[in-house]
Structure 1
Amino acid sequence: MSNNLYITATESRSGKSAIALGVMQLLTRNVRNVAFFRPIINNGVDSGRDHDINLILRQFKLDIPYEDTFACTLAQARELINSGQHAQLLENILNKYKALEAEYDFVLCEGTDFQGKDPAFEFDLNVDIAANLGCPVMLVVSGRGKTDEEIVASAQITIDTMEEKGVDLVAAVVNRAEKGADRERIVSSLECKVRCTQPLSVFVIPEEESLGNPTVKDVMKWLDAQVLYGHGRLETVVGDFLVAAMQIGNFLGYISKGSMIITPGDREDIILTALASRLSSAYPDISGVVLTGGLQPSAGVHRLIEGWTGVPLPVLSVKGHTYQTTQKLAELYGRIDPDDQRKVALALGTFEAHVDVPVLSERLVTRRSTRITPKMFEYNLVETAKKHRMRIVMPEGECDRILRAAEILLRRGVCEVIILGTMDKLTAKISELGLNLDGARLIDPATSELLDDYAQTYFESRKHKGILMDEARDKMLDPTYFGTMMVHKDHADGMVSGAINTTAHTIRPAFEFVKTKPDASIVSSVFLMCMKDRVHVFGDCAVNPNPNAQQLAEIAIVSAQTARIFGVEPRVAMLSYSTGASGKGADVDKVKEATVIARERVPELAIEGPLQFDAAVDPDVAQTKLPGSEVAGKATVFIFPDLNTGNNTYKAVQRSAGAVAIGPVLQGLNKPVNDLSRGCTIPDIVNTVAITAIQAQAEKGLL
């Protein structure tokens, strides 16, 4: 098998970029160094850069110079071919490809976009390039607007043609199939007849309108429009375009969910009605308004809208007249912007839901890397969490980042999501953000049937502290306390909070009634530090200021257990400013004592201490300072003597080495509860929820 793949479509708007995203996700999970290459690109529209190259490089943080990722534009390729220099074109492409092949373990290639006027020319060109690069091919066939018979007929002809031209097909993806398509019939009907050494892998992915449709931001870029209002709502997906030329009473009857209203800028009655409809539950949520003719609302109306707290939808302004604008929008289609993590997550979730990833992985990857990159680790987190879907409660339901992360978690199938908050505020916020959280369970603690039982349970657990029943009920009205009680009562498997609450507020309820495991005397934490090609575990960097020797030994033991849960083989370094017997002092003695205690409690644990950091990670230094150690020079779990050292070190490594720090992951509690930083990003939330789900799996013996 080859260490390359060529993804090509047969027509435009096939959703090829979404397939490339899914395949690259699969590859980065298994292969350390993956390159992306497009032999031929169209003229760039994203700051002069090719859209798909920009998407893949940014999403997967590939450190490849942009100029190395393509050979030429389609116009340049056509010019060379028309001048009789077809061989020169192939040589240019091969030279650029070979340069990447020499540096990377796998090269994923993507064909042309079929945006030209001659699809037959582009098809032959892609087949020719794939054959000359020695790439097996993944064929992407568009099922949009086609019957099952039409899909099978066109796809089989393409497969036969590719085989005749000497191309090895590894898989065919029927993308954007109609919702009622007969998947089994399509899969069983397509086959390789000559060149396939194994049966052709065929996958059918249904149409996902949110991927195929543009966002308001796409419309803004396409029309070079000015944003007048609603700057924070540009990620809203556009369902259709509606020209508003009627009176208000008639116009309202035509709007549908996701409609983008196109109207002259002096139709203030339409503008105000559109804004009002977005706030009314009696009408579908429209996506935005485009004002044409370069006209804008009058000063009075502008003042009225500006004074509207939180303009409910984006309003754009363009110079062109209404007909011209409508004609231009007819050529617009949805693209996946690398900044739109909602669409990226939807694309990846849709791919994973309909493609047998293990089967495809087996066919594509000839050898698996023993190194783990941050992207590999994050992908493995999600994949492990998906195996047994746990119930994770998120108490901060009125936080935008939490809700956006929840949608991603649902799209990816990471876990069952429970969101807490005041119900009317929750539903209004979800509508305002244009999210689809139909799969989430929304709970208002104040109206929940669980409230009385939770208050009684809390009262019983804390009455020895003098708490009154009314106080217990008030506590349970707090979403953080309510969510923690859900975990305590096994109505949820884990909780993630802290995006807007303090660490103390997040973990205090867990200390009060979830409490520590029988064999744990303290709660501690670790950070999963994703380095360039490996994962280290740092503890304790967030909870215990100055643990004694007994506590330090316990932190080492539970951190090793946490490391193993997340696929890191624990080799524990007890860090100090001294290695072995080279130094003296109370701080060194504490680390020595902790190491002895840990060895006595868990004799089979690979642990060494005291160790300096360089002796723990560098084999050459280890050979000099502590030869023969099974830990020195190859440690994976690093236990710091105090919080001051641990917290500063993890942040220094994160910032200076470009490591991805995932955590803190709390350990020692009876049930998994994890804290977020108040500055956390949406990916941070997704990762922490996945970690919490995996901890819950471990608690239930599912790993």
Structure 2
Amino acid sequence: MAQSIYITSAEGHSGKSTIALGVLDVLRRTTPRVGIFRTIARSTRERDYVLEMLLDHDGVDLPYEACIGTTYDEVRADPESALAAIVERFKTVEAQCDAVVVLGSDYTDVGSPAELAYNARIAVNLGVPVLLVLGGRAQNGEVPEQLGTTIPRTPSEVAQLAASALTELAHERAHLLGLVVNRADPERLEEIVASVSAVAATGSAAASDRPVWALPEDRLLVAPSVRDVMRAVDGRLVSGDPELLAREVLTVVIAGMSMVNVLPRLQDSAVVIIAADRTEVLLATLLANSSGTFPSLAAIVLNGPFALPDEIQRLIDGLDSPLPILRADLGTYDTATRVMRARGRLAAESQQRYEKALRMFDEHVDTAELVRLLGLAQADVVTPLMFEYGLMERARADRRHIVLPEGEDDRILRAAATVLARGIADLTILGEEIEVRHRAIELGIDIRAASIVSPFDPVLVDRFATEYARLRAHKGMTHARAADTVTDGSYFGTLMVHMGLADGMVSGAVHTTAHTIRPAFEIVKTKPGVSVVSSVFLMALADRVLVYGDCAVIPDPTSIQLADIAISSAATARQFGIEPRVAMLSYSTGESGSGADVDKVREATELVRAREPDLPVEGPIQYDAAADAAVAKAKLPGSAVAGRATVFIFPDLNTGNNTYKAVQRSAGAVAIGPVLQGLAKPINDLSRGALVEDIVNTIAITAIQAQGGS
């Protein structure tokens, strides 16, 4: 039976989705198959965006329709029949999973004890413990000053809510796992936890020893995005970058006055509402946003039934501003009212909000205690997602400083925001600070913790040119030529690593592999005892992680180079928690074949044994004999490696590159890499088609290499 958790609250708008996301993320680190189940949805016709967001989380593989128990209409019509349907559908999901996050109903308007009682009955019938979410904000439906903000509850008010909710749960005999106060007053977290804990301690025995956690209110998590505003006003995007629709809106400016009076009132992350016939205000606002000397706006909403003159449209097109311009047919009052009432959604489409929610949950909830209470044991298998989480945790445990030379690429900025939000590494991004930070603001991501350094900084250029000229003096390098060379991002970043200003570098999203690693060959060079730089891919299969080398650097290694690759790959495997058992691959196994290619592998194997006598190594060996225990028993009985190899060394680049891609595509493996090895300091190359998650993984890997003095 799956170990599951039922997340419910005593009222609406408590932020259950933030808690559910955090719990889901914790479970995915511990167990391979995690499911989501929404007990009651508003309708079968309209998609439940919270359920969709959770199902989109990496590692959750269930169809939307299977994850809904029933609807409000069915509950109202026949509560007992609806309960039976919920149980039946939950059991179907439970049978496919090791753990299930069960999300209780959403309250349609205000707090309802009857609805909480029904959620408690569901939890009892499912046999699932309850994590009770209490709202830390008053549910008055008002928006006093800023979008998404409400009045904080005092500790005693939260305690009263807890007392009422715990009474309902006890009455239905629900098993309480713990309590989370969400959106609590940041200045009074400890008081709130103490007050709720006191209520739990004086209540039923079942609640007396249950943990209480509190997450602070964060304006960003409840602020609507530009896309939410567009939905609220039934608007449409007529100009600007669609990617910027994910940016959060923190305030509203109604431009109902002249241009000179509007401009001083512009604020960061504001939506500016402009009547469509006030074209001079529209153009002035666009120019102000592009100038870099005014606050960075989130969007403009043009309201009213007025068509823009062709000349004005040509001016807007010529400005080529990425700022989203939305059109709404409403009057100014109705537009402003709808914008102010727009609610933020915690959704994967907002990277900044998503990352912040996960980080906040990790910071304020004892996740180890949560896992212990659920009785989840560490799984024997290692899924790709579990391996990636392991990388993040190891990188966080001893944070290192990584330089990213390609600050002009949006993927790099998005990856940087994720790395910073999760505490994976400290970062320096190369680029012009105004440009890099402005683009990050436009994208709605937070890279404030990153250092932005210009590769044309005169002090650093002179310092780096002096060092580079010294290193390349034997090639006739002069200081003047060196000064020109080191302004290249790859050279600048490599020199930062070489001179101790960073622990590692990740590049290649924009530039070629040669462009990325040539400076490393010239400046960082190989570590002692290693003759070549090579690479591996960490191949995350469904239940384990293998190491493939070399798949990216050396086209046709000699036997000596092949031995180096094997020894370096075994060391890399150890760095990432993989016990190395090395298979030196060939088209024949043992003594069955001969020829130059087989002899090269045989000779390399002997070199490995001589240099690393304690390293389990077998070769020459065919892939099937290395990977399959049944084949190994027939071809190489008694081998310590055959049938259970973890490190696969290919005889040449052609074989290695094609094999890793074949396994990646046919077996659905996640290929993490290439990870460069053999360099005196860690520098890693990205594919130019790298996704944001690939960049995040590579930064984590580089940080771990730096921890080990790679």
The TM-score with structure 2 as length reference comes to 0.93
Q: Does 1:171 align with 2:178?
A: yes
What amino acid is the match of 2:422? R
152-161 or 562-571, which deviates more = 152-161
State the match for 2:149 in structure 1: none
Q: Return the offset for 1:681.
A: 1.2
Name the SS of the counterpart of 2:673 in structure 1: strand
Q: Return the offset for 1:448.
A: 5.2
State the match for 1:110 in structure 2: 103
- Decide whether the 8 Å contact of 2:2 with 2:95 is kept in 1: no
State the match for 1:551 in structure 2: 561
Structure 1 residues 195 and 601: CA distance shift in structure 2, 3 A: farther
Q: Return the offset for 1:461.
A: 1.1
Q: What are the equivalent positions in structure 2 for 1:129-528 lying under 5 Å apart?
A: 129-144=122-137, 145-183=152-190, 186-187=193-194, 189-190=196-197, 191-192=200-201, 193-196=203-206, 199-230=209-240, 231-309=242-320, 311-447=321-457, 449-528=459-538
What amino acid is the match of 1:43? S
Structure 1 residues 108 and 384: CA distance shift in structure 2, 3 A: same
What amino acid is the match of 1:53? L
Q: What are the equivalent positions in structure 2 for 1:649-664 lying under 5 Å apart?
A: 649-664=659-674
- Decide whether the 8 Å contact of 2:116 with 2:168 is kept in 1: no
Q: Return the offset for 1:361.
A: 2.2
State the match for 1:74 in structure 2: 72
Q: Return the offset for 1:213.
A: 1.1
Q: Return the offset for 1:116.
A: 4.4
The TM-score with structure 1 as length reference comes to 0.94
What amino acid is the match of 1:278? N
Q: Return the offset for 1:370.
A: 0.8
Structure 1 residues 117 and 253: CA distance shift in structure 2, 3 A: same
Structure 1 residues 44 and 691: CA distance shift in structure 2, 3 A: farther
421-430 or 265-274, which deviates more = 421-430
Distance 1:600 1:195 in 2: 66
1:637-683 Cα offsets, whole Å, 9 max, x none, are 11111101111111111122221111111111111111111111111
Question: Which structure 1 residue ranges, 5 or more long, are not aligned?
Answer: none
Root mean square deviation, CA, Å = 2.1
1:8-45 Cα offsets, whole Å, 9 max, x none, are 12222222212211111111111111111111112378
553-562 or 344-353, which deviates more = 344-353
What amino acid is the match of 1:403? L
- Decide whether the 8 Å contact of 1:290 with 1:317 is kept in 2: yes
Q: Return the offset for 1:174.
A: 1.5
Distance 2:195 2:679 in 1: 51
- Decide whether the 8 Å contact of 2:38 with 2:68 is kept in 1: yes
Distance 1:403 1:472 in 2: 28
Distance 1:121 1:319 in 2: 41
- Decide whether the 8 Å contact of 2:55 with 2:62 is kept in 1: yes
Distance 1:195 1:497 in 2: 57
Name the SS of the counterpart of 1:316 in structure 2: strand
Name the SS of the counterpart of 1:473 in structure 2: helix
Q: What are the equivalent positions in structure 2 for 1:26-105 lying under 5 Å apart?
A: 26-43=26-43, 48-81=46-79, 86=80, 88-105=81-98
What amino acid is the match of 1:459? A
- Decide whether the 8 Å contact of 1:524 with 1:668 is kept in 2: yes
Q: Return the offset for 1:484.
A: 0.9
Name the SS of the counterpart of 1:438 in structure 2: coil
What amino acid is the match of 1:138? L
591-600 or 143-152, which deviates more = 143-152
State the match for 1:673 in structure 2: 683
Name the % identity.
46
Name the SS of the counterpart of 1:53 in structure 2: helix
63-72 or 147-156, which deviates more = 147-156
What amino acid is the match of 1:328? R
Q: Return the offset for 1:197.
A: 8.0
State the match for 2:140 in structure 1: none
Name the SS of the counterpart of 1:17 in structure 2: helix
Distance 2:232 2:384 in 1: 34
Question: Which structure 2 residue ranges, 5 or more long, are not aligned?
Answer: 138-151
Distance 1:198 1:623 in 2: 57
Distance 1:178 1:221 in 2: 29
Distance 2:630 2:164 in 1: 60
Distance 2:365 2:305 in 1: 47
- Decide whether the 8 Å contact of 1:187 with 1:203 is kept in 2: no
- Decide whether the 8 Å contact of 1:296 with 1:317 is kept in 2: no
Distance 2:458 2:490 in 1: 14
Structure 1 residues 696 and 11: CA distance shift in structure 2, 3 A: same
Name the SS of the counterpart of 1:269 in structure 2: helix
What amino acid is the match of 2:574? R
State the match for 2:21 in structure 1: 21
What amino acid is the match of 1:99? T
Name the SS of the counterpart of 1:182 in structure 2: helix
543-552 or 225-234, which deviates more = 225-234
